[in-house]
């Protein structure tokens, strides 16, 4: 009987220790710096122009000079080319060309179609104290075909996605727009975190 009680006590102590270990490991995971969540982006149609625009508030004490500098550093790290920049005006313009993919399941699965496309676009960032506005515009898609690249503006792709001649054209065009919006949602979220200096690289806990 005494041996049984000792065994039960040892079992409870071990179980308690395991539970504490599990709690510690959970805390360590949850206490890590979270990755930026994708920004919600919304297309604006103005006549025959289609673009994305959003105003973002930043932390207290971040003025035009800091927004300008951190935006420039972030875009340079992303290999975006600055085509205009004037700190006193609070404006920067960048351009880029990106190779993207409409199929999110291609990594590690060679049975899926790759379905790549290329997109060129510009990003204008207007700045004021504690806020900035980004505009993603002049978006042009290039889709590979048997006879060469098919060139389409964002507005033309939008028309195909909403008023295409067939269900396939609508679905295909929507996949391109969705893939692009996912990319710029991630990009603008990373920009926001970089301007606020809250990205993982700036974590003060180590």
The rounded mean pLDDT for the chain is 81
Do both 132 and 177 map to the same domain?
yes
Nearest to 205 by CA among 24, 35, 58, 28: 28
Its domain, for residue 14, covers 1-32
The total number of structural domains in the chain stands at 2
Kindly state whether residue 38 falls inside one of the protein's structural domains.
Answer: no
Q: Residue 5, Cβ neighbours under 10 Å: how many?
A: 9
Do both 15 and 111 map to the same domain?
no
Do both 83 and 25 map to the same domain?
no
* CA 91 to the chain's CA centroid: 22
Calpha distance 116→100 (Å, rounded): 6
pLDDT tens by residue, 97-124: 999 998 765 455 555 567 899 999 999 9
Do both 122 and 170 map to the same domain?
yes
pLDDT tens by residue, 40-55: 899 999 999 999 999 9
Do both 28 and 118 map to the same domain?
no
């Amino acid at each position: 009987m005494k041996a049984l009680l000792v065994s039960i006590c040892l079992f409870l102590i071990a179980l308690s220790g395991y539970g504490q270990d599990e709690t510690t490991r959970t805390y360590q995971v949850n206490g890590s710096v979270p990755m930026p969540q994708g920004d919600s982006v919304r297309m604006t149609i103005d006549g025959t122009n289609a673009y994305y625009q959003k105003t973002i508030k930043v932390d207290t004490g971040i003025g035009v000079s800091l927004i300008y500098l951190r935006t420039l550093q972030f875009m340079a790290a992303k290999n975006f080319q600055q085509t205009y920049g004037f700190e006193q005006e609070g404006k920067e313009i960048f351009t880029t060309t990106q190779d993207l993919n409409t199929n999110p399941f291609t990594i590690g699965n060679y049975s899926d179609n790759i379905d790549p496309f290329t997109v060129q676009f510009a990003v204008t960032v207007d700045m004021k104290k504690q806020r900035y506005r980004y505009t993603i515009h002049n978006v042009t898609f290039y889709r590979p075909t048997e006879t060469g690249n098919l060139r389409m503006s964002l507005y033309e792709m939008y028309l195909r996605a909403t008023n295409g001649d067939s269900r396939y054209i609508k679905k295909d065009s929507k996949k391109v727009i969705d893939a692009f919006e996912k990319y710029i949602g991630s990009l603008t979220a990373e920009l926001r975190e970089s301007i606020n200096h809250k990205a993982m690289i700036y974590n003060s806990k180590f």
